[in-house]
Chains A and B, each alone.
Chain A
Amino acid sequence: MGEVLVITSGKGGVGKTTSTANIGTGLAMLGKQVVMVDTDIGLRNLDVVLGLENRIVYDIVDVVRGNCRLKQALIKDKRFENMFLLPAAQTKDKTSVTEEHMKALAEQLKAEFDYVIIDCPAGIEHGFKNAIAGADHAIVVTTPEVSAVRDADRIIGLLEASGLESPKLIINRIRTKMVQAGDMMAVDDMMEILAVDLLGIVPDDDTIVISTNRGEPAVTDEDSKAGQAYRNITRRIIGEEVPLMSLEEKQGFLDKLKTLFGSK
């Protein structure tokens, strides 16, 4: 019996879909049977991030309406044959999916797969409640900004109230130079505020943009720092102990001078 993980954040644009794609792909790279489910009905995106947008025939609404069998709607990845996507519907009525549907779907999928990764829409309404309905564990993605941390705190409260105890945190888009200059909250600052377990930290990295352009998750790119961060995260998900990656950057001459004169 597999595990259902929901990836959520409250705020939009912090990297839920990117994290879903990288974690799902990372787990597939470790040989796990993985299915990713896009529950952002009307704003489907996981398909393009994974580069599978041209293969969609059926979607999640077709499955719950009985227009097709679940197996027919699952799209096999082009690189990993142990990885599948259940896409969101783009134009159908999103109220057609209910929490009961999602629970049943999660049960069916985890009977077949080691990991079911659910990409949650932004917000705390219907779509959020659907996405978390069948989940066993939650991963909260946030960035070092007041708006994202505030929403993460709200989401953690809602998850705990729904019985998804101790969600794990991913801090995304850390800009080391700004942290060093005292102009961005550091990992410790955010852990102090949110007081949950840390699953991983991901640096702000141009390779994410490039990999999304190509539809190939950064986790497959050996040279990508963000990819390394997601490889570490997936190993932690399967239970390995992996130390947090160092985001220290080599200091340039000016930085050294600033440090020398005590200016943070």
Chain B
Amino acid sequence: MAFSDMINKFFGKDQVANSKDVAKERLRLVLVHDRANALPEDVLLALREEMIKVITKYMDIDEGALDVGLTKSDTEIALVANIPVVRIKRNVG
């Protein structure tokens, strides 16, 4: 054990994260959940419309079957989109 570790131990500081870093990380996660839950319906609709615009530049998709939504787990929130491709355009870009 290095001398500085001993000093740290003496002052009650070992290798665990500072509690403020724990607070920040917990807050980050809880706010992602809170804001996702408070997200107005039209935000997801607008996102969906813009995604369709971008994707159809490159491929034909089945817009009716397109599914966009937020999937939540304890540790993260993911934006998940299932976009059935009908045909990929030739010679794009």
Q: A residues within 8 Å of B by Cβ?
A: 145-146, 149-150, 153-154, 157, 179, 181-186, 189, 193, 254, 257-258, 261-264
Question: Quick one: closest A residue to B6, CB to CB?
Answer: A261
- Interface members, chain B 1-47 (any A CB < 8 Å): 3-4, 7-8, 11, 13, 18-21, 23-24, 26-28, 30-31, 34-35, 38
Question: Quick one: closest B residue to A262, CB to CB?
Answer: B4
Separation in Å of the B2 CB from the closest CB of chain A? 10
> What 5 pairs between A and B have smallest CB-CB spacing?
A182-B18, A261-B7, A263-B8, A261-B4, A263-B13
Q: How far is the CA of A11 from the CA of B24 in the complex (A)?
A: 18
Q: B residues within 8 Å of A by Cβ?
A: 3-4, 7-8, 11, 13, 18-21, 23-24, 26-28, 30-31, 34-35, 38
Q: How far is the CA of A146 from the CA of B19 in the complex (A)?
A: 11
On whether the beta carbons of B28 and A157 are closer than 8 Å, the reply is no
Query: With A261-B8, A263-B11, A263-B13 given, is the CB distance from A150 to B20 under 8 Å?
Result: no
On whether the beta carbons of B34 and A183 are closer than 8 Å, the reply is no
Give 16 CB contacts A-B under 8 Å: A149-B27, A150-B30, A154-B38, A157-B35, A157-B38, A182-B20, A182-B21, A183-B20, A185-B20, A185-B24, A257-B7, A258-B7, A261-B3, A261-B4, A261-B7, A262-B4
On whether the beta carbons of A186 and B4 are closer than 8 Å, the reply is no
A181 to chain B: which residues have CB within 8 Å?
Answer: 18
Separation in Å of the A182 CB from the closest CB of chain B? 3
B3 to chain A: which residues have CB within 8 Å?
Answer: 261
User: Out of A146, A153, A263, which one reaches B23, CB within 8 Å?
Assistant: A146
Question: Quick one: closest B residue to A264, CB to CB?
Answer: B18
A262 to chain B: which residues have CB within 8 Å?
Answer: 4, 8
Question: Quick one: closest A residue to B23, CB to CB?
Answer: A146
Question: Quick one: closest B residue to A183, CB to CB?
Answer: B19
On whether the beta carbons of A150 and B27 are closer than 8 Å, the reply is yes
On whether the beta carbons of A258 and B11 are closer than 8 Å, the reply is yes
On whether the beta carbons of A183 and B31 are closer than 8 Å, the reply is no
B38 to chain A: which residues have CB within 8 Å?
Answer: 154, 157
Separation in Å of the A184 CB from the closest CB of chain B? 6
On whether the beta carbons of B24 and A193 are closer than 8 Å, the reply is yes
On whether the beta carbons of A193 and B8 are closer than 8 Å, the reply is no
B34 to chain A: which residues have CB within 8 Å?
Answer: 150, 153-154
Q: How far is the CA of A262 from the CA of B2 in the complex (A)?
A: 12
Q: How far is the CA of A133 from the CA of B24 in the complex (A)?
A: 32
